[in-house]
Structure 1
Amino acid sequence: MQTPLSVMDFLDRAEQVYGDRIGIVDEPVQPAGSWGEVTYRRMAELARAQAAGLDRLGVGPGARVAVVSQNSARLMTSFFGVSGFGRVLVPVNFRLKAEEVAYIVEQSGASVLLMDPEVADALAGVPVEHRFVLGAESDRELYAFDREPVRHPVAESDTATINYTSGTTARPKGVRLTHRNLWLNATLMGLHFGAGDRDVYLHTLPMFHANGWGLPYVITGVGGKHVVLRKVDGAEILRRIEQHGVTFLCGAPAVVAAVLAAAETWDGPLPGRDRVRMVVAGAPPPTSVVQRVEAELGWEFMQLYGLTETSPAVTVNRTRAEWDALPPAERAEKLVQAGAPALGTTVRVDGQGEVLVRSNTVLDGYWERPDETAAALQDGWFHTGDGGTLTDGYLTISDRKKDVIITGGENVSSIEVEDCLYGHPAVEEVAVIGVPDEKWGETIKALVVLREGAKADEAELIAHCKQRLAGYKSPTSVEFRTALARTATGKLQKFRLREPYWSGRERGVN
């Protein structure tokens, strides 16, 4: 017998087995109004009511519903109320500018746009058939409790979410993830990182980002408790861990840095010692940070390597019995590796040093980008664009083959930033690269050649970008050059431009 895998399986089980248990503790201060504590039975009722509300709007199966929101119970419920009933959820980065959101809405063909109140004014001009500002008023319109939703048949090969990633092109690509992709990724995350019904999971990770790495699904399916955090703050993370008995969280290295900084001034014993485990991804932190997490916080450090295109799990790294007797520094060196392939995943490095992946969690394709889909999925392998090495079954990411800068766990296309800078009348040439940064892992540097006779300073060019791009995409520094070295064919060799800034480091990523 074979039954199709659906993301709704996770909430169906939670309702059946853990219906009276508190499933979500919403952020207490939400501009849209907090839902407070929500049981799994109520969460399932809300998901059905949302689906019925979309039925009432005439939003049919396969239609795209875009949502621009910081972490919230409303957003989490939409993973099930939209995708679980045959529609496609498009979670959008709330940091993007209106023009960027408008492109995603148009390119995905979304007919519905749900907006957090904080971004509603900025996105007022985004053209879309149905728009809702999340809150009590839209709750009455969106959630139809007086009718049963149509449970449209869902095939596991159907697209469940479209997640936009900057990638290496100026325009973001929509990653089509199927119910099968998401179901298996969530199951792998739960298996490798030990999720269970006693877990209290803190959402420090943005839910829009690769669907919160699948944790909204797996924690729901095993009956754990979700604690929603709207904005990352080191001291607030420690307070939530103490208040709610948090056992599990995920985040980029910048989140680790924020917690460690807050711990230095924390009054009293640090919460979570010998209880909390944390999965870190985005870029491997230094071994010293791993040691501090284990020694100062007393938390278990775990690592994930993945991409939006892989749902995202590719490799996982968690301390093993053979490492227990190692000195802390040696164990940390083991843990900063990207890790071993997740169950059912095959990883290899080709002759050019690029990491290739074969897995059931690899994307179905890019939304309406057949050429880029074909380029990414060559010969039955997903080409990550990352460089790495494999040693004794463990992957280490050594450099980035594609021009993506990961700053604070967010992907930034260098080409997109360059396009923006080229729009300034004083700029003749520009190359944007990532350089090491202690707080964000990498930060964005623009190497600029000005037009003959033109004038512009660093502050002016940074302000130019901030007016047109999300803040995290804007350069933090500008270096003026008289020329940018190119190959005989006129191409910039960014790895050579990056070399002086990464000199003396083992890896070309931070």
Structure 2
Amino acid sequence: MQLTQALTRAVQISHRQTATIYNDRKRTWREVGQRVPRLAAGLRSLGLKPGERLAVLALNSDNYIELFFAAAWARLVIVPLNTRWAIPENIYSLRDAGCSALVVDEQFAPQVAELRAGHALRQVVYMGDGAAPREMHSYEKLIEACQPMPDECGSDDELCGIYYTGGTTGHPKGVMLSHTNFVSASVNWIATLHFTDQTIYMHSAGLFHLAGTSPAFALTMAGGTHVCLPKFDALLAFEAIQKHRINYVLFVPTMVNMMLNHPDFDRYDLTSVRYCEYGASPMPDAVLAKAIEKLPSWEFIQGYGMTETAALTVSLPWRFHFDGEHGKAKRQAAGRASLGVDVKIVDPEGNELPRGTPGEIAVRGSQVMLGYWNKPEATAAAIRNGWMHTGDGAWMDEDGFVYIVDRVKDMIISGGENIYSREVENAVHAHPHVRECAVIGVPDEKWGEAVMAIVTLKDGKSATAAEIIDHCHKLIANYKCPRRVEFRESLPLSGAGKIMKNVLREPYWQGKTRSVN
């Protein structure tokens, strides 16, 4: 298995078709197929050797997608850096991976001096628009100056990319992904999520994240069209969908919520979209119900996965969002195991649990990572007997549907009762004035931990803590209801659009020796 097979197939079957759209720039697959081998040769001309790590710090663009394949063509290991991390965090990643070179765009070129001061980079390439700054090589001039090189891509279990996880505890971990991981994930994505050569897909998730990378690789394999937004913005998304007649999108729940509540939502024609994949964090049912109501032409498909499994491992097709062959609607589920992936729910010792019993999701298959870069102990703790232990709490029903309840480590234990924050968040979200919420456990002298809801309200709406708590009492058991409610203007989001509960939780646990009470 080779990642570059995706590109060579796209050029072969879709060479006349538009491959990438970025702002007003369009390139066909023939053009991309000519540029990538030249860029690969350009990277090699900088003295980069097979197996060396090439970092990239940039917003989404057509060039970023080309770079993925050029790095593989030249047998380099790509290391996408998180665009929302602070400079010291990315310096850590550069050092940890031992990156030899860095590619940046105009947004991050000003950080290069500081990044170089923190890690000795041999080369820096500028792939933004306009002239390259001093001491940086021009992306376009590398392509112009070099003749195309033969494809020297690695294969199978050879390392292809290192993706750094969020680092909610200690330092970030570099997830090592191989050609087999990426190719398997791409085939899985195409079969499960309906990518074809007619797919016009909008990239709004960051390409540094697997929610951006996986569809980029799969869509290339299918020979479809990439429409790149620099980053998610509701108005940019509306405009792109209408202008380019986009028929496939991927959003995390916070993005969907922002779009539904945007004042200009009704001004745009969004009917070209056929499929919307959502995931990365649970979708509150109130938000999903509103999306189904306000976007009747869209078919929603939930996807669940993680960086360590090259993204998609469980999916929920559109038909299961409604009553049907399995009775009551399954839309509270994350879905069923995707093709080529084994999924089970296990206890702390790794034993499979009976259906309906909450435990931890474990995953096995060709998409599971090689391991964590330079962290053999963390690798051994995560992959046991061939199974990747995800850290996500869930249960499985008799039909094989997996229901996510929480991160195992985020479970709240109050008065001896296990409380899963997602259930409480669904109740809070059902309040008509709530825009977004996160539920965390905070120290409590009487109960050990108390349930706390941190809430943002819709524009022009108001609510009191007592109203939110009374509302929840009507929907869930008393012991699960928030005992405290705090209102904020916004909630902290990770680069993947997930609410950062560790940031919300931290002030309440300062001075504690552990984050449970």
Instruction: Confirm or deny a common fold (TM above 0.5).
Output: yes
Match in the other structure for 1:178: 178
Task: Tell whether the 8 Å contact from 1:279 to 1:303 is kept in structure 2 after alignment.
Answer: yes
Is residue 201 of structure 1 aligned with residue 227 of structure 2? no
CA distance in 2 between partners of 1:106 and 1:345 (Å):
33
CA distance in 2 between partners of 1:445 and 1:215 (Å):
35
CA distance in 2 between partners of 1:173 and 1:302 (Å):
29
Is residue 131 of structure 1 aligned with residue 131 of structure 2? no
Q: Deviations over 1:471-502 (max 9, x none)?
A: 98694688568975xxxxx5441xx5xxxxxx
Structure 1 residues 291 and 60 mapped into 2: Cα distance closer, same or farther (>3 Å)?
same
Is residue 101 of structure 1 aligned with residue 90 of structure 2? yes
Task: Tell whether the 8 Å contact from 1:446 to 1:479 is kept in structure 2 after alignment.
Answer: no
Match in the other structure for 1:89: 78
Is residue 278 of structure 1 aligned with residue 276 of structure 2? yes
Task: Tell whether the 8 Å contact from 2:204 to 2:231 is kept in structure 1 after alignment.
Answer: yes
The one of 11, 28, 32 equivalent to 1:15 is 11
1:51-200 aligned within 5 A: 51-126=40-115, 127=119, 128-135=121-128, 136=130, 137=132, 138-152=138-152, 154-200=154-200
Question: How far is 1:107 from its partner?
Answer: 0.7
Task: Tell whether the 8 Å contact from 1:246 to 1:272 is kept in structure 2 after alignment.
Answer: no
Structure 1 residues 179 and 240 mapped into 2: Cα distance closer, same or farther (>3 Å)?
same
TM-score by length of 2: 0.75
| Corresponding letter in the other structure for 1:220 | T
Structure 1 residues 402 and 130 mapped into 2: Cα distance closer, same or farther (>3 Å)?
farther
Task: Tell whether the 8 Å contact from 1:445 to 1:479 is kept in structure 2 after alignment.
Answer: no
Is residue 311 of structure 1 aligned with residue 314 of structure 2? no
Structure 1 residues 366 and 441 mapped into 2: Cα distance closer, same or farther (>3 Å)?
farther
Task: Tell whether the 8 Å contact from 2:259 to 2:265 is kept in structure 1 after alignment.
Answer: no
| Corresponding letter in the other structure for 1:317 | L
CA distance in 2 between partners of 1:145 and 1:123 (Å):
24
CA distance in 2 between partners of 1:321 and 1:211 (Å):
22
* SS of residue matched to 1:283: coil
Structure 1 residues 106 and 272 mapped into 2: Cα distance closer, same or farther (>3 Å)?
same
Structure 1 residues 476 and 65 mapped into 2: Cα distance closer, same or farther (>3 Å)?
same
| Corresponding letter in the other structure for 2:214 | G
TM-score by length of 1: 0.76
Task: Tell whether the 8 Å contact from 2:37 to 2:73 is kept in structure 1 after alignment.
Answer: no
CA distance in 2 between partners of 1:25 and 1:91 (Å):
21
Structure 1 residues 324 and 112 mapped into 2: Cα distance closer, same or farther (>3 Å)?
same
CA distance in 1 between partners of 2:16 and 2:508 (Å):
62
Task: Tell whether the 8 Å contact from 1:65 to 1:88 is kept in structure 2 after alignment.
Answer: yes
Match in the other structure for 2:221: 221
Task: Tell whether the 8 Å contact from 2:102 to 2:125 is kept in structure 1 after alignment.
Answer: yes
CA distance in 2 between partners of 1:219 and 1:178 (Å):
18
CA distance in 2 between partners of 1:43 and 1:270 (Å):
30
* SS of residue matched to 1:198: coil
Match in the other structure for 2:390: 384
Question: How far is 1:117 from its partner?
Answer: 1.7
Structure 1 residues 146 and 229 mapped into 2: Cα distance closer, same or farther (>3 Å)?
same
CA distance in 1 between partners of 2:365 and 2:294 (Å):
37
Structure 1 vs Structure 2 CA RMSD: 3.3
Question: How far is 1:276 from its partner?
Answer: 2.4
Structure 1 residues 236 and 151 mapped into 2: Cα distance closer, same or farther (>3 Å)?
closer
* SS of residue matched to 2:261: helix
* SS of residue matched to 1:82: helix
| Corresponding letter in the other structure for 2:49 | G
* SS of residue matched to 1:279: strand
More deviation, 346-355/193-202: 346-355
| Structure 2: unaligned runs, 5 residues or longer | 133-137, 349-358, 412-420, 445-487
| Corresponding letter in the other structure for 1:190 | I
* SS of residue matched to 1:290: helix
CA distance in 1 between partners of 2:216 and 2:84 (Å):
21
Structure 1 residues 211 and 338 mapped into 2: Cα distance closer, same or farther (>3 Å)?
closer
Structure 1 residues 198 and 441 mapped into 2: Cα distance closer, same or farther (>3 Å)?
farther
Question: How far is 1:141 from its partner?
Answer: 4.3
Question: How far is 1:167 from its partner?
Answer: 4.5
Q: Deviations over 1:383-418 (max 9, x none)?
A: 1011110112011111212469xxxxxxxxxxxxxx
* SS of residue matched to 2:369: coil
Is residue 24 of structure 1 aligned with residue 50 of structure 2? no
Q: Deviations over 1:182-208 (max 9, x none)?
A: 001011111111111111101111111
CA distance in 1 between partners of 2:203 and 2:331 (Å):
23
* SS of residue matched to 2:260: helix
Match in the other structure for 1:345: 341
Match in the other structure for 1:421: none
Match in the other structure for 1:409: none
Match in the other structure for 2:32: 43
CA distance in 2 between partners of 1:265 and 1:16 (Å):
41
CA distance in 1 between partners of 2:363 and 2:373 (Å):
20
1:244-259 aligned within 5 A: 244-259=244-259
Q: Matched residue pairs, number?
A: 428
Is residue 361 of structure 1 aligned with residue 396 of structure 2? no
Task: Tell whether the 8 Å contact from 1:55 to 1:149 is kept in structure 2 after alignment.
Answer: no
CA distance in 2 between partners of 1:182 and 1:129 (Å):
28
CA distance in 1 between partners of 2:210 and 2:496 (Å):
18
Question: How far is 1:316 from its partner?
Answer: 0.6
Is residue 242 of structure 1 aligned with residue 242 of structure 2? yes
Question: How far is 1:340 from its partner?
Answer: 0.1
Task: Tell whether the 8 Å contact from 1:445 to 1:478 is kept in structure 2 after alignment.
Answer: no
